[in-house]
Structure 1
């Protein structure tokens, strides 16, 4: 009993560090109770979540408040990503970020629209001076929305330090009701090299979890030998939300000694893509489940690791019994434990891992070039984390470039020589990634042409092909038509789409004057606010030109009346 008490006291030293952040400086950016749909550091596609996703009761238009005094230092509006976003710099050196906004407060909205009309662009990024848009704590700055890459109405809220590193806003005193321990979904054991094995196999092993009466877990005893590691799949859930969120901290101990810790309190945007080195990327791409590896592989620069012993790897000796423990915590220090009893057992009959081999080998620390017929692939140095055999095949204009189960650190390029195409055909070509079970769907990969060479830059392995787009975008008027009176409408609405290469740009005018049409790519809707008062005429000529990514364009014109 005394031994157990000493262990708990020692472990609490690891778990509880003094909070260096001011806990009463920032207020809740909304008036509603804080309920989260996304937590800080949560594992997302190719990145860690950099803030809190605060639920807005499934609706838009909630008032968004300045979390503290300061000035608006950046405004960015984009079709994708954060949509409409505001950045406030505060006297204490921190910056708060408010994203997916529906609209800004009247003063900020007027400031932004003036610039949009000057630049004739809906998408805009501006950095106001410190004396232009000054705020006091609690000022209404915007209204919550669903713009950009948002999957539903919510407010994305961040706090960044003076080096632009996002920090968990809960460290600043924003309180979320959470008395529920994290949920352990699965745990895995990894033989690391050819000489190591788990349960007579050299492949990753899923261990059978056993839930104990106290809510913690154990697994069926396992036999292992050599250098091994573990991985865990876990989620957290707050009291007032039913959705699964990310955990805050994971620690592992081997025979009572700390081996590994990862703490999701702060990171930098430069490192966020290296999430793909933390997780078992191949498992995620094939099973859509994220296993967090509790060991640090080579070329992993993540800064969230702490208290590492031998990078979290274990050495299991023959005939020696040992105990491995995993503690998964949420921000409120609710925790779930996994105890794994390991029997050291060197086996002579090992099931070896299947290994892929090809004629093409990639050296991670070197530049690599792959060429076949009219296609060339260029991998700069340090594109990948590891050396590996790559599946490289060309059939006509289709390139098989392995599959998307190998994580990519940096951009690489794919180039096609299209000299054998005539001028009319070549003008409509683009490079696409083929997806779907039968590779039947195309995704436009940004394509650039120089003479007869088409090139795309990407961070995704997979199947690529040359695709021709001869179909112009479609334009569907929603509430306007030839000769129609639309005096009772505040908004002019048009739906646009392009099934092939996708929409590149659009331009709309009324009586020859450019108008601001906001674009929501999720609904494919363009919308003009008549309150902008570009035209006060009764008779109005509306013209819209939409262009896709290979230059096909469609023009829509109509005359409408309005008083």
Structure 2
């Protein structure tokens, strides 16, 4: 009898705390980002409260307690306060412009003591006690902030971030989360989804009752996982937010639960393990995984001990996914999957006249009766030239299916025919055409691509134009080779089975072999690849021996194949002097646990050149970004550390930073009350400016100042805490970029 009362009491305690916490500002009650949002390399640990695009709004204590810590920095949280509440929680207020006057004075004293803008000071419970609603500071845009706002975090007694909307603030909302697409991910050697071993994504369709539905029954075989592209919405806001919870049910049984309730800082760098990282790197959307790979650490947000990886018995199975926001608004996804053995078919033309063509589809492997067919049309150059072809008539004949097509739909095209058996199982594609080929295997040019997954590798060969062909690849070194057949997945595209990484260990060549009717051709591609795994250190070198990757013991979550590609078609280097080839580190879509080292050798004649650096290409921002570089001139090699497999190259930066404008400005005359702050806007076109004190020097009338720097706006600032005397004044400012180029600037102005 007491147990339900105890549970009710615990639940009520959370709710009471939420309702009793004071919202920290009157600037607005809306926010742009919430708890748990995935930032690729970390989770967002709080909420970003909007301040109407301006700074200087009052910030209040959410509860009774004391100011336990103040910090100021050029990046990260910028200028921030920590409130330790009587309930034992810790509240962080970040990106502030100013503290309340008494704390601002303490901050200035701390700077003078340290002779630095950087402050990290802790206080006892007796020093700066506050009550709920007391003024503690003013909103700003300091640190790594893209616009004025208040970043607020709620942490437990152990300083572990909690979801503020679940544990501190009761924010009304009646809008359900939005779901766009679903992905099914094959996870073992023989796994397939709709007859493909590759990740398959499907749009979801919302019916009149508001339920999201699969577009059709999905065929699966072997182990697979599910991921969803989803976000939350709130009434009165156009922002997209992180969902609060997602549950996966198979045949009514819960298999996985994701709940954004608490995320310890020790796990924040594992954010790349809870999304389909490969899809995001390929700009195909952000999908939340509803499963966990055994090599990935279990996070607090993954509620169940079960991994969510599915292997289903043959037959039909119901899938239901519930997606919640923190107010318990729920979006529901429903669909069916059928677990069926892989199937292949044969196709034979049995009738033709001036109007129609009839084809007989017969089951080969996995010989269940065929009930339907899906047909696509491709041009000889590999492009689809229309949507699905609708057949004129279909008739079952024993296990076979006879389909009748408009003869016009078959001319000038290669048809891809996919059969559906009576259990909903999908066949491997069969390619049929009446085209008389213009080209043979001698005439076509194959290219090869390697795709790495969490369980092995695929080799994909694509032809520049259609020719009847069988395809295989050979992986070889100078002494031995292994041969692997390829499956035709489109008229011009062939794919290997999922191969163990070890098959490519030490390979120097990939030979693509095409054959048909006694004709054959081979094309050779060079590769240097190695298998890497956690807790071991290895070095992989490019084919031209100019670029190397050093995998460290903590770099990887799981075993994988590592290689380096020298690429010809790469994003333009618009600034500086481009001094090396561009190398793509592979696999570029692999989620990493920690950093690795990269090295690029340069030519002897560049040994005396200064300001050389390794740059990686930021695909999201579309620009080359400097990575802190060490230059070993004796061995003519540059080295750096990265946390993603990006494209890298060597660029020389000889241009100093720019001083764009300032207040006060050169030669300006100002009233005393108009000079309350020094502001200098700067820029650097290539290597950028490191957000640290060593990058800057600011003096007013020859007195050093502890300047603030906003790295996103590239703004240097300093609040003048006492009126300047009438007359002339001098500002001396210098700034250097990441490779040491330096600019100096002097401003003479007068006050009256």
For the 8 Å contact 2:177–2:243, the answer to whether it is kept is yes
CA 1:479–1:53 in structure 2 vs 1: closer, same or farther (change >3 Å)? closer
CA 1:540–1:210 in structure 2 vs 1: closer, same or farther (change >3 Å)? closer
Residues 278-325 of structure 1: CA deviation (Å, up to 9, x unaligned):
11101011125111111111222122112344x11222233x221111
Partners in 2 of 1:268 and 1:421 — Cα distance?
50
Name the structure 2 match of 1:148.
143
* Pair 1:379 & 2:551 matched: yes
Name the structure 2 match of 1:487.
671
* Pair 1:513 & 2:718 matched: no
Name the structure 2 match of 1:265.
261
* Pair 1:388 & 2:554 matched: no
Give, in angstroms, the shift of residue 364 of structure 1.
Answer: 2.2
CA 1:26–1:381 in structure 2 vs 1: closer, same or farther (change >3 Å)? same
For the 8 Å contact 1:196–1:228, the answer to whether it is kept is yes
Name the structure 2 match of 1:545.
734
Give, in angstroms, the shift of residue 435 of structure 1.
Answer: 4.2
* Pair 1:217 & 2:212 matched: yes
**Structure 2 residue matching 1:507: 3-state secondary structure:** strand
* Pair 1:461 & 2:461 matched: no
CA 1:423–1:542 in structure 2 vs 1: closer, same or farther (change >3 Å)? farther
2:531 aligned to which of 348, 355, 362: 362
1:313 aligned to which of 303, 309, 312: 309
Unaligned 5+ segments in structure 2 are 1-6, 345-426, 430-450, 452-456, 460-503, 505-526, 568-579
Residues 86-120 of structure 1: CA deviation (Å, up to 9, x unaligned):
11122332110011222221111222123334444
CA 1:536–1:413 in structure 2 vs 1: closer, same or farther (change >3 Å)? farther
Unaligned 5+ segments in structure 1 are 1-13
Q: Which has the higher contact order (CA 8 A, sep 6+)?
A: 1
Partners in 1 of 2:632 and 2:120 — Cα distance?
29
For the 8 Å contact 1:374–1:417, the answer to whether it is kept is yes
2:332 aligned to which of 331, 337, 345: 337
Alignment of 1:107-256 (within 5 A): 107-219=102-214, 220-256=216-252
CA 1:436–1:256 in structure 2 vs 1: closer, same or farther (change >3 Å)? closer
For the 8 Å contact 2:28–2:49, the answer to whether it is kept is no
Name the structure 2 match of 1:9.
none
Name the structure 1 match of 2:87.
92
Name the structure 2 match of 1:527.
717
**Structure 2 residue matching 1:531: 3-state secondary structure:** coil
Partners in 2 of 1:77 and 1:436 — Cα distance?
31
CA 1:482–1:57 in structure 2 vs 1: closer, same or farther (change >3 Å)? closer
Name the structure 2 match of 1:303.
300
CA 1:459–1:473 in structure 2 vs 1: closer, same or farther (change >3 Å)? same
Partners in 2 of 1:37 and 1:367 — Cα distance?
42
CA 1:228–1:559 in structure 2 vs 1: closer, same or farther (change >3 Å)? closer
Partners in 2 of 1:31 and 1:471 — Cα distance?
45
For the 8 Å contact 1:322–1:342, the answer to whether it is kept is yes
Residues 446-481 of structure 1: CA deviation (Å, up to 9, x unaligned):
224567564322212112222212111122343445
1:499 aligned to which of 685, 698, 703: 685
CA 1:338–1:522 in structure 2 vs 1: closer, same or farther (change >3 Å)? same
For the 8 Å contact 1:28–1:174, the answer to whether it is kept is yes
Name the structure 1 match of 2:594.
410
Residues 315-373 of structure 1: CA deviation (Å, up to 9, x unaligned):
2233x221111111111111111112122221233659871565312322222212454
CA 1:173–1:558 in structure 2 vs 1: closer, same or farther (change >3 Å)? closer
TM-score normalised to structure 2 length: 0.67
CA 1:556–1:514 in structure 2 vs 1: closer, same or farther (change >3 Å)? same
Alignment of 1:394-433 (within 5 A): 396=580, 398-402=582-586, 404-416=588-600, 420=604, 424-425=608-609, 427-433=610-616
Give, in angstroms, the shift of residue 378 of structure 1.
Answer: 1.8
CA 1:180–1:558 in structure 2 vs 1: closer, same or farther (change >3 Å)? closer
Partners in 1 of 2:681 and 2:28 — Cα distance?
36
TM-score normalised to structure 1 length: 0.89
Give, in angstroms, the shift of residue 405 of structure 1.
Answer: 1.2
RMSD: 2.8
Partners in 1 of 2:557 and 2:286 — Cα distance?
18
CA 1:64–1:317 in structure 2 vs 1: closer, same or farther (change >3 Å)? same
Name the structure 1 match of 2:626.
444
For the 8 Å contact 1:475–1:495, the answer to whether it is kept is yes
CA 1:89–1:451 in structure 2 vs 1: closer, same or farther (change >3 Å)? farther
Partners in 2 of 1:58 and 1:482 — Cα distance?
29
**Structure 2 residue matching 1:44: 3-state secondary structure:** coil
For the 8 Å contact 2:532–2:562, the answer to whether it is kept is no
More displaced stretch, 251-260 vs 142-151: 142-151
For the 8 Å contact 1:434–1:440, the answer to whether it is kept is yes
CA 1:19–1:148 in structure 2 vs 1: closer, same or farther (change >3 Å)? farther
For the 8 Å contact 2:322–2:332, the answer to whether it is kept is yes
For the 8 Å contact 2:550–2:596, the answer to whether it is kept is yes
Give, in angstroms, the shift of residue 380 of structure 1.
Answer: 1.1
Partners in 2 of 1:267 and 1:227 — Cα distance?
29
For the 8 Å contact 1:279–1:290, the answer to whether it is kept is yes
* Residues paired across the two proteins, number: 544
Residues 163-213 of structure 1: CA deviation (Å, up to 9, x unaligned):
221001223341112111111111122222232222222222223422122
More displaced stretch, 260-269 vs 406-415: 406-415
Partners in 1 of 2:163 and 2:43 — Cα distance?
12
For the 8 Å contact 2:669–2:751, the answer to whether it is kept is yes
More displaced stretch, 17-26 vs 145-154: 17-26
Partners in 2 of 1:225 and 1:95 — Cα distance?
49
